[in-house]
């Protein structure tokens, strides 16, 4: 278990504003995701836990070991913290071969055992054939696997991963995800994973902390956060929602229904406890839950007419962008049948609308 309470303030510089990291988090064995945009404090949090940055205040506890305590003036150096750290740029020593890099990480082992442990790691991560190469001779995936292997050889009690999939193509990303899932089984320890990729968070995370401007603004299981962002600001940080302003026209708690005015149109929703007729609300909906069909004539009740601005075709799905940036997603097969249309009827199922604080 890692428990961290961290506060670190930076004054404004010539080309930057002031910034204060002020977070509290706990993580048990398994992957805990630190999610958020660049500059929100995710990597700084890792660096404070690892000992590369000294917080102004707070405490870091790894199981029963105090790594940092501002009040008691305890600050263990990085090499005494038993933290494995995989950096964005992998940080392999360029003048060493891959095997030599791993031997450096295995310095905690006795000399007779070191060669065996390194060979086992090279085999485990499918790097045995490239152990004699230097980092510039390795692919991105090989460097990334080598960096994880080196970190594990130091017998860490916690693993810190800073954007480990950055720069990897889709196939190598999936390979990395498989490695990390295997690590959870074979090396049970807390793993803190920094990412701004929501798919990665959903793929790997057991828990997730959403960072914004130096603070954790929401925590929970990734899918639960996806289903119910607490505020419109958090929905924007997650980056996958349409945000809609509306007015409640009618509420029926018995039938669990409501009527909403969005612009000049009326749509159906579920019952929203704690709100009254006439309340202004902000709602969000995931594009994949929006239903669309080509419009021929007046829109059906409960739908909204929209004009298609452009379509972005992916391997499986097509993203449709309508007026004011409103988005929907459809299967490629469905899109082929409607691709000539420009005027659409858009329907949002009531259960897909999530009420958030504005």
Q: Is the pLDDT of residue 358 over 80?
A: no
On whether both 325 and 189 belong to a single domain, the answer is no
Q: List helix spans (H) across 30-139.
A: 42-50, 98-105, 111-124
Which tokens hold the place of 30?
């398994």
The CA-atom distances, in angstroms, between 99 and each of 94, 138, 152, 159 are 12, 12, 14, 21
pLDDT at position 165:
85
On whether both 177 and 308 belong to a single domain, the answer is no
Percent of the chain with pLDDT over 70: 100
**In the block, which residue shows the tokens 């002020």?**
22
On whether both 242 and 227 belong to a single domain, the answer is no
Tell me the pLDDT band of 36, cut-offs 50, 70 and 90: very high
Which residue range is the domain that position 319 belongs to?
A: 237-356
On whether both 246 and 274 belong to a single domain, the answer is yes
On whether both 212 and 64 belong to a single domain, the answer is yes
Which tokens hold the place of 94?
């360029």
Instruction: Tell me the average pLDDT across 18-37.
Output: 94
Domain boundary (236, 253, 283) is at 236
> Which residues, including other chains, have CB under 8 Å from residue 307's CB and lie 6 or more apart?
322, 323, 342, 343, 344
On whether both 53 and 140 belong to a single domain, the answer is yes
Q: Is the pLDDT of residue 318 over 90?
A: yes
- Contact assessment for residue 282 and residue 232, using Cβ atoms and an 8 Å cutoff: yes
Q: Which of 224, 15, 2 is nearest to 23 (CA)?
A: 2
- Contact assessment for residue 138 and residue 130, using Cβ atoms and an 8 Å cutoff: yes
Q: Is the pLDDT of residue 316 over 90?
A: no
pLDDT at position 279:
94
Tell me the pLDDT band of 252, cut-offs 50, 70 and 90: very high
H-helix or E-strand spanning residue 320:
strand 317-321
**In the block, which residue shows the tokens 């404070």?**
48
On whether both 323 and 349 belong to a single domain, the answer is yes
The CA-atom distances, in angstroms, between 345 and each of 39, 318, 348 are 39, 17, 10
- Contact assessment for residue 157 and residue 63, using Cβ atoms and an 8 Å cutoff: yes
On whether both 30 and 162 belong to a single domain, the answer is yes
Q: What is the pLDDT of residues 88-108, one digit of tens each?
A: 877 889 999 999 999 888 888
On whether both 187 and 301 belong to a single domain, the answer is no
- Count of structural domains, the chain: 2
> Which residues, including other chains, have CB under 8 Å from residue 339's CB and lie 6 or more apart?
311
Tell me the pLDDT band of 199, cut-offs 50, 70 and 90: confident
pLDDT at position 287:
92
Please, what is the average pLDDT of the chain?
Answer: 91
Tell me the pLDDT band of 222, cut-offs 50, 70 and 90: very high
On whether both 232 and 248 belong to a single domain, the answer is no
**In the block, which residue shows the tokens 């007046």?**
298
Helix axes 111-124, 98-105, angle to 10 degrees: 120
DSSP class per residue in 332-355: HHHHHTTTT--EEEEE--GGG-EE
Q: Name residue 117's beta-bridge partners.
A: none
Q: Which of 231, 239, 244 is nearest to 202 (CA)?
A: 239
Domain boundary (236, 255, 280) is at 236
Instruction: Tell me the average pLDDT across 239-247.
Output: 91
Q: What is the pLDDT of residues 118-167, one digit of tens each?
A: 998 898 888 989 988 998 999 888 888 899 999 998 889 999 999 988 87
Domain boundary (194, 215, 236) is at 236
**Model confidence, pTM:** 0.84
> Lowest-confidence range among 36-45, 49-58, 73-82, 143-152?
143-152
On whether both 246 and 225 belong to a single domain, the answer is no
Q: Which of 265, 289, 263 is nearest to 351 (CA)?
A: 289
- Contact assessment for residue 173 and residue 179, using Cβ atoms and an 8 Å cutoff: no
- Contact assessment for residue 191 and residue 32, using Cβ atoms and an 8 Å cutoff: yes
- The span from the CA of 208 to the CA of 224, in Å, is 10
Percent of the chain with pLDDT over 90: 62
On whether both 243 and 181 belong to a single domain, the answer is no
- The span from the CA of 347 to the CA of 81, in Å, is 54
- The span from the CA of 34 to the CA of 44, in Å, is 11
CATH number of the domain at 82, please.
3.40.50.300
């Amino acid at each position: 278990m890692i428990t961290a309470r961290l506060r670190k303030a930076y004054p404004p510089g010539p080309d930057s504003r002031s910034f204060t990291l002020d977070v509290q988090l706990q993580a048990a064995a398994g992957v805990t995701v630190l999610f958020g945009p660049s500059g929100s404090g995710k990597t700084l949090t890792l660096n404070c836990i690892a000992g590369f940055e000294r917080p102004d205040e707070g405490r870091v506890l790894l199981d029963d070991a105090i790594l940092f305590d501002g009040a008691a003036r305890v600050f263990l150096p990085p090499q005494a913290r038993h933290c494995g750290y995989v950096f964005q740029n992998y940080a392999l020593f360029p003048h060493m071969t891959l095997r030599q890099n791993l031997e450096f990480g295995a310095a905690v082992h006795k000399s007779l055992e070191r060669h065996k442990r390194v060979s086992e790691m090279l085999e485990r991560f499918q790097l045995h054939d490239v152990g004699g190469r230097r980092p510039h001779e390795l692919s991105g995936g090989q460097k990334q696997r080598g960096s994880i292997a080196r970190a594990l050889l130091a017998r860490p009690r916690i693993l810190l991963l800073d954007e480990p999939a950055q720069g990897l193509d889709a196939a190598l990303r999936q390979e990395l995800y498989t490695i990390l899932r295997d690590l959870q089984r074979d090396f049970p320890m807390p793993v803190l994973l920094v990412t701004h990729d929501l798919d990665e968070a959903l793929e790997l995370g057991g828990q997730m902390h959403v960072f914004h401007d130096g603070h954790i603004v929401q925590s929970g299981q990734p899918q639960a956060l996806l289903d119910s962002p607490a505020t419109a600001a958090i929905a924007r940080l997650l980056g996958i929602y349409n945000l809609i302003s509306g007015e409640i026209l009618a509420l029926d708690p018995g039938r669990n229904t409501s009527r909403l005015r969005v612009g000049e149109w009326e749509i159906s929703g579920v019952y929203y406890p704690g709100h009254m007729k006439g309340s202004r609300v902000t709602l969000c909906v995931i594009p994949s839950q929006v239903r669309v069909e080509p419009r021929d004539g007046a829109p059906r009740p409960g739908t909204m007419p929209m004009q298609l601005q452009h379509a972005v075709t992916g391997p499986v799905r097509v993203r449709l962008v309508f007026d004011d940036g409103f988005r929907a997603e459809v299967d490629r097969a469905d899109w082929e049948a409607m691709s000539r249309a420009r005027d659409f009827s858009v329907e949002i199922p009531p259960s897909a609308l999530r009420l958030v604080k504005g």
